[in-house]
Amino acid sequence: MPQAITDVAEFRADRAWGARDLVEIDGASVRLHWTDQPYRWHVNDGAEAFVVLAGEVDMHFRRDGREECVRPKPSDIFIAEVGDEHVAHPIGEARILVVERSGSV
């Protein structure tokens, strides 16, 4: 059944990085996350698309042994490939759409 998600701006989880599962597509999960706290450094076992819907997020990542940072804003997308070490630090509250392999951390 088709579905429109119209409460993204009001979505708030009961904890940082809490999520609402939206849909699974061929082994990939699409989840709406809310957070006001940093995540943790991690490496996904598959590629990840990180779409900022509201707020801003400092996305730290390591490349060639150096830490770098970009700040995606609403409608910006950060892509982490397999093996990319990264961590998200929201600036205040943020709502993020994450598409990644189901069960990935």
- Residue recorded with tokens 């998600």: 5
Distances (CA, A) of 93 to 1, 13, 29, 103: 31, 11, 22, 24
The full set of domains in the chain, from first to last, is 18-101 (2.60.120.10)
- Predicted TM-score (pTM) of the model is 0.92
pLDDT of the chain along its 105 residues, tens only? 899 999 999 999 999 999 999 999 999 999 999 999 999 999 988 999 999 999 999 999 999 999 999 999 999 999 999 999 999 999 999 999 999 998 876
Helix (H, G, I), strand (E, B) or coil at 9: helix
Q: Left, alpha or beta for 17 (phi > 0: left; psi -120 to 50: alpha)?
A: left
Q: Look at the chain and count its residues.
A: 105
